[in-house]
Amino acid sequence: MQYILALDQGTTSSRAIVFDHAGQPVAMAQKEFRQLFPQPGWVEHDPREIWATQHAVALEAVAQVGGIEHIAAIGITNQRETTLLWDRTTGHPVGNAIVWQDRRTAPRCDELRAQGHAGRIQRKTGLVIDAYFAGTKLEWLLDHVPGARARAERGELAFGTVDSWLVWNLTGGRVHATDASNASRTMLLDLRTQDWSEELLALLRVPRAVLPQVVPSSGVIAETEPALFGRALPIAGIAGDQQAATFGQACFTPGLAKNTYGTGCFMLMNTGAQPVASRNRLVTTIGWQGPPGPHRTAYCLEGSVFMAGATVQWLRDGLQIIQSAPEVESLAAQVDDTEDVYLVPAFAGLGTPDWDGYARGTLVGMTRGTGRAHIARAALEAIALQSADVFAAMARDAGLPLTELRVDGGASRNNLLMQMQADFLGVPVVRPQVTETTALGAAYLAGLATGFWRDAGEIAAQWRAERRFEPRLAPAEREAKLARWREAVARAKGWAVS
């Protein structure tokens, strides 16, 4: 038997999943790693831990299927926007990775907006100006790591998002590359030319010498160092986690949309071969780029919710009202409603459609009767309500009503949350049989490049629904709930500036 190995490097853990020709997972390994919070609003990872955990789980998963001789290719998917800088000679990072959730560059983003750059940046990159994206993070590292800017200009340092860091380590430092989907999240890539923008590099004072080569999402870009796995393996697919999940959900037709419930929630809709400019504060992004051909690049509209599964982690680790994440469903089910309690989990600011880097987490509406179950239910509702805001913006941008939402990610297995989501959207929520669609998308991209799968049609035929959640709320109740939620959001906005 031959399989595809998918490396799924996420925000809180590194995973490796092996898929068979039917697109079914046959082996999996996972390791969590540390989350570092050196200052309020700052979030960092140790790049060495990212690589060590990813390599370890890859070896573990390969062993489960009988050894490396059964692996045909590797696909990579990764937490996006997280920014790393390392020495090209030694391969050592110059500091910790700045995670996508980090807000330290919010004041710099304010400056860029005040200077009138918002329209130009959105037209070129498809992105709004926000600390979420990698460009200002890289600028910060170049300015704050002693000697980094001069070293970068001399070509001694390499910048990358997590995919680049993994490729660098997998190839023993021979290849410095990123795929088009990850490159489109840096605020440095021109969406139409699909190359780095000299204008934006000058604006953020980023030397071109520090940047990786942009490569297709599906295509053999390198081979691994033989010593890492026992023989060289082709690295044949790379995509940022949300684009990979969209591919794994077989959203190949314009108008199909998916929502992934991971650390955050990320809703993407395929818009076809041309980028669509958003009028409702969504971002335009490259979905994936294949080999040369008439449909080489697929574009997407995307809405981003920063705190989803991370909200449940906060209940576990911060409030300590649950012992493990799956407990949240049974705890929340102990009450029929939140009794007008709302949690706005703006711990890392607010993403789509508010884009407020100064919003902070807020819990409103509590009385003496409020208990653990009400807070747990409010946390689940917050995940679904944030996604409902994104869904409404996407429907307005698309100019057509979205008739269903495909869902995946760890929290999509929470039936109570998925029912809430259908209720707040007013359309069915459809969960596939394979919910590990992020890793599956990376596997599909690698398998297409190596002939493991024939074409997108063969992949689309493998997609199967496991359950449909139909909306139960009356339209008037739904509208009242969404309006009350927006009142709670208004109370969270701008808090860190006050």
CA-CA distance, 70 to 231, in Å (whole number)? 11
**Is position 14 annotated in a ligand binding site?**
no
Instruction: Determine the 3-state secondary structure of 284 from DSSP.
Output: strand
| DSSP H or E stretch at residue 179 | strand 177-179
**Is position 487 annotated in a ligand binding site?**
no
- Reading the block at residue 73, the tokens are 């290719």
DSSP 203-260: HTT--GGGPPEEE-SEEEEEE--HHHHSS--EEEEEEEHHHHHHHHTT--STT-EEEE
**Is position 309 annotated in a ligand binding site?**
yes
**Is position 237 annotated in a ligand binding site?**
no
| 209-222 b/e (C-beta count within 10 Å ≥ 16 → b) | ebbbebbbbbbbbb
**Is position 130 annotated in a ligand binding site?**
no
Residues sharing a CB contact under 8 Å with residue 358, sequence separation 6 or more, in sequence order:
106, 349, 493, 494, 495, 496, 497
**Is position 80 annotated in a ligand binding site?**
yes
Which residues lie across from 17 on neighbouring strands? 6, 28
- DSSP 8-state assignment for residue 99: P
**Is position 242 annotated in a ligand binding site?**
yes
**Is position 313 annotated in a ligand binding site?**
yes
**Is position 15 annotated in a ligand binding site?**
yes
**Is position 132 annotated in a ligand binding site?**
yes
Provide the Cα torsion 455, 237, 208, 195; round to 10°. Answer: 10
**Is position 35 annotated in a ligand binding site?**
no
Residues sharing a CB contact under 8 Å with residue 221, sequence separation 6 or more, in sequence order:
167, 175, 177, 215, 235, 236, 238
CB atoms within 10 A of CB 296: 15
Determine the number of helices (DSSP H) and then strands (DSSP E) in the chain: 17, 23
Provide the Cα torsion 14, 20, 22, 25; round to 10°. Answer: -30
**Is position 410 annotated in a ligand binding site?**
yes
**Is position 241 annotated in a ligand binding site?**
yes
**Is position 88 annotated in a ligand binding site?**
no
Query: 311 exposed, middle or buried (CB, 10 Å; 0-12, 13-18, 19+)?
Result: buried
Contact 283, 128 (CB under 8 A): yes
Residues sharing a CB contact under 8 Å with residue 477, sequence separation 6 or more, in sequence order:
none
**Closest alpha carbon to 459 in 255, 228, 250, 266:** 250
CA-CA distance, 392 to 401, in Å (whole number)? 9
Annotated binding site: 11-13, 15, 80-81, 132, 241-242, 263, 309, 313, 410, 414
Mark the binding-site residues for sn-glycerol 3-phosphate, compressed into ranges. Answer: 11, 80-81, 132, 241
Annotated binding site for ADP: 11, 15, 263, 309, 410, 414
Residues in the annotated binding site for glycerol: 80-81, 132, 241-242
Binding-site residues for ATP sit at 11-13, 263, 309, 313, 410
